[in-house]
Structure 1
């Protein structure tokens, strides 16, 4: 007999799934903290390490360059060795990378240490969402996977808060940036310990032929009836893909797989060309240049972190109400409009605190659309659209492109700002935003309320491939 929804058994399974979600998303917390902490630490590094503008760009972007390779190889390693084991390895790299950055004696050492830390950030960016997607029931997958995005922006907010506190309280002390960085060792240790007690992804286990273990994991985080029904679906798809076990680049010769890959890479690009990370990495400097002092800018920048968290909460709620595609397009329209206004007001308003508050209001508006719609939808859809045999490769390659674009923006933003000014820089991002809107409208499909297997059958149907699974009409709305 199946337990009632309010029964003890159902509560037990929900609690187990909630625990898995919380522990694994410490990877997202580290992702957010390590990318956000540079925002406030960089001005103090400039003094202690004697950073030139070029060195400043290298220190900021070396993590992003490392993240590109961490994402590319992290997905493949997670396919080969398992999602859980990969996350535990990433926790160790987070710890080693953080300690290396904290103790860095020179600019060259810092760049190398940030690259190592980036390997962990990139690996977490692909492995954690895939792990969450594969342990989640289809009806709740959107909200569960986007918990990772919530933890990312929470990590960034914590970085901004600690930066502001340490900078305003101990800013005159030498090496205060080292204390800003070392805080990240705590969640790294918590992630490693926690994942030691978490289950492996049932879909990965099934793909390796470990059907008994896969069923056992599902029974741990689902009711008995739900576990049995989902296991049959997972087993059928795993058997279908077992002949290839792990996808390769040759699979992209298949039209429907190539289309998925194109959509995945496109999602990665349009998430970054909004210029969001110019604000997340250089927000303190943007606000200081707009009219705030250094310490005041550190405090004002907390508003960017707060709105990111609140917007992500709103985004998680909306994912249960609104389609992914509609949210993505709405978010792109909102960010593009905000970028255009930042450019205009930076051009027409005189320097001073007044202009600073206007720019702050617009960056907050920009982040509301970015973190409330674009970012959660991007990472969620990247974890959804790739078939099992290509999930690690496709997610890894898409995230590689995402991080490379991120790297180019992080490295080039200071130079672009110096060359053409803040107004023209944001006008460039606005033009790119128009291209992003057009791409999303034309190529991105709807995946809401579809199982991962439904999404795969949908893309096959678009390419005219006949399967024995559910009718294609159930797999989603047509790609426009």
Structure 2
């Protein structure tokens, strides 16, 4: 039996009510387990998007891919992810975050099997699109699920664990590629072995999600106050659970009286439209850093820099290692360091790294023995800057800035645009490298990163230290864009 919070059952609960402090205990450990299980979606995201890095070269030979079809194989997953991002958000709004992630795990498993047993290019593209649907849904639903499960005091570090698992998945792909490629590289179908490993975490995600609860915010928004309170009691102290349930219920009640936030309502509301543009801008800026060009085509870039094919596979592990280190540092600072300052520092560093890669490729021509090592060092520095200051902050901020009733729509739209940008870059990057070389590509990335720096400095608001309910009030009233509030000073 459920009751409807705020509408009949839950007393009071404004967004400014003080919440009891967080306490340690079994509930904190339970929250950690729930987050770990959900972030297997991030692990699958990272592995599936990066395994192509090492699998592509033998796949090109066996399937007879051209430069164009090579780009199609890579980008087909990304175009699928764009569809998965926006449809996953809508599905999770209607069906629930937990059940959406369960369905997503089945798509990960099925898509992987299609790719492993593909007889030709066409079937491979179908399998990659299925995987893309799962990756896109994971990129939308998992961060929202984590943000809605987390207490606001540790929301940054808890939500950021998904990005940590993404880079762990990327590193796992690089390590598997290096081992399998160097041990069985002479055997036909070696790329099929690389792709097959993803089925294991897909099974783990499905089994794990059967044992975790639904988001309490989603439950309250759909009229299941008693169930939401029961979930919160397993993840918070008793006193905190009851206070937080009342707070969520109070906002849900007030929100239900204001605007039904479908896409028409969002686009007709000045402040919601602006926050949606900021969210999509963050997604586009993250992709145009060039990070996924490194993650998808790192072996090709390092090969052009001067490494042999087998050495490039091994050297490719270095960006994966620094990505994990950077994500770990990001989690440590996420709850104590300004989101806006993190963005400004991150885009400053990535702009500098791209300039140095371009300059290095000019000063050290092909054949210079220093060229591959200098470019590898600068690529590692870029990946480290990106993962430490931008990737975690981007996904956490996207999961925070949208009001509850437009969260899935806002997140889905932002991530849809993010994946379309990613897909177009993935499709045309081999052609760009062929035409412009490393120098031209990375000078171009430097210009784009400089524009992103201006955008985050002037438009992106501070979200750290505020509950989702407080952020919702600030966003819908437009107060989030006041300079003092935006900078985190009020």
Q: Same fold, TM exceeding 0.5?
A: yes
Quote how far apart the aligned CAs of 1:247 are.
Answer: 2.6
Taking a change above 3 Å as real, the CA distance of residues 200 and 39 of structure 1, as seen in their structure-2 partners, is same
Taking a change above 3 Å as real, the CA distance of residues 5 and 231 of structure 1, as seen in their structure-2 partners, is closer
Structure 1, residues 242-261: CA drift from partner, whole Å, max 9, x if none? 35565323322111111111
Contact 1:63 1:115 (C-alpha < 8 Å) held by counterparts: yes
C-alpha distance in structure 2 between counterparts of 1:283 and 1:209, whole Å? 48
Task: Write out aligned runs for 1:254-333 (5 A).
Answer: 254-333=269-348
Larger displacement relative to structure 2 (245-254 or 36-45): 245-254
Does 2:427 align with 1:421?
no
Quote how far apart the aligned CAs of 1:5 are.
Answer: 7.5
Contact 1:315 1:376 (C-alpha < 8 Å) held by counterparts: yes
Mark the runs of 5 or more structure 1 residues left unpaired by the alignment: 466-471
What SS does the aligned partner of 1:51 have? coil
Quote how far apart the aligned CAs of 1:479 are.
Answer: 10
Taking a change above 3 Å as real, the CA distance of residues 255 and 479 of structure 1, as seen in their structure-2 partners, is farther
Structure 1, residues 324-344: CA drift from partner, whole Å, max 9, x if none? 111011101101110111111
Counterpart of 1:410 in structure 2 is 426
Counterpart of 2:92 in structure 1 is 78
Select 2:446's aligned residue among 422, 430, 444.
Answer: 430
Contact 2:108 2:134 (C-alpha < 8 Å) held by counterparts: yes
Taking a change above 3 Å as real, the CA distance of residues 108 and 371 of structure 1, as seen in their structure-2 partners, is same
What SS does the aligned partner of 2:25 have? helix
Counterpart of 1:469 in structure 2 is none
What SS does the aligned partner of 1:174 have? coil
Task: Write out aligned runs for 1:317-466 (5 A).
Answer: 317-352=332-367, 353-462=369-478
Quote how far apart the aligned CAs of 1:422 are.
Answer: 1.3
C-alpha distance in structure 2 between counterparts of 1:364 and 1:423, whole Å? 17
C-alpha distance in structure 1 between counterparts of 2:115 and 2:253, whole Å? 45
Structure 1, residues 336-388: CA drift from partner, whole Å, max 9, x if none? 11011111111120224421111110011001111111110110000000000
What SS does the aligned partner of 2:340 have? helix
Quote how far apart the aligned CAs of 1:456 are.
Answer: 1.3
TM-score, length basis structure 1: 0.95
Counterpart of 2:265 in structure 1 is 250
Counterpart of 1:34 in structure 2 is 48
C-alpha distance in structure 1 between counterparts of 2:134 and 2:264, whole Å? 24
Contact 2:340 2:487 (C-alpha < 8 Å) held by counterparts: no
TM-score, length basis structure 2: 0.93
Taking a change above 3 Å as real, the CA distance of residues 475 and 224 of structure 1, as seen in their structure-2 partners, is farther
Select 1:140's aligned residue among 154, 172, 182.
Answer: 154
Select 2:199's aligned residue among 185, 203, 223.
Answer: 185
Contact 1:100 1:113 (C-alpha < 8 Å) held by counterparts: yes
What SS does the aligned partner of 1:242 have? helix
Quote how far apart the aligned CAs of 1:462 are.
Answer: 2.6
Taking a change above 3 Å as real, the CA distance of residues 477 and 379 of structure 1, as seen in their structure-2 partners, is same
Q: What RMSD over aligned residues (CA atoms) do the two structures have, in Å?
A: 2.0
Counterpart of 1:97 in structure 2 is 111
Larger displacement relative to structure 2 (25-34 or 349-358): 349-358
Structure 1, residues 44-85: CA drift from partner, whole Å, max 9, x if none? 101111111001000000000000000011001100000000
Quote how far apart the aligned CAs of 1:112 are.
Answer: 1.4
Select 2:29's aligned residue among 4, 15, 31.
Answer: 15
C-alpha distance in structure 1 between counterparts of 2:40 and 2:380, whole Å? 25
C-alpha distance in structure 1 between counterparts of 2:388 and 2:443, whole Å? 22
Mark the runs of 5 or more structure 2 residues left unpaired by the alignment: 1-18
Select 1:229's aligned residue among 243, 251, 266.
Answer: 243
Does 2:184 align with 1:170?
yes
Quote how far apart the aligned CAs of 1:409 are.
Answer: 0.8
Contact 1:161 1:302 (C-alpha < 8 Å) held by counterparts: yes
Contact 1:346 1:355 (C-alpha < 8 Å) held by counterparts: yes
Taking a change above 3 Å as real, the CA distance of residues 198 and 464 of structure 1, as seen in their structure-2 partners, is closer
Structure 1 residue ranges (4+ consecutive) displaced by more than 6 angstroms after TM superposition: 2-6, 472-475
Select 2:164's aligned residue among 150, 155, 158.
Answer: 150
C-alpha distance in structure 1 between counterparts of 2:161 and 2:466, whole Å? 19
Contact 2:347 2:390 (C-alpha < 8 Å) held by counterparts: yes
Matched residues, number? 470
Does 2:78 align with 1:64?
yes
Taking a change above 3 Å as real, the CA distance of residues 359 and 212 of structure 1, as seen in their structure-2 partners, is same
What SS does the aligned partner of 1:325 have? helix
Does 2:141 align with 1:127?
yes
Taking a change above 3 Å as real, the CA distance of residues 435 and 474 of structure 1, as seen in their structure-2 partners, is closer
Contact 2:41 2:205 (C-alpha < 8 Å) held by counterparts: yes
Larger displacement relative to structure 2 (33-42 or 238-247): 238-247
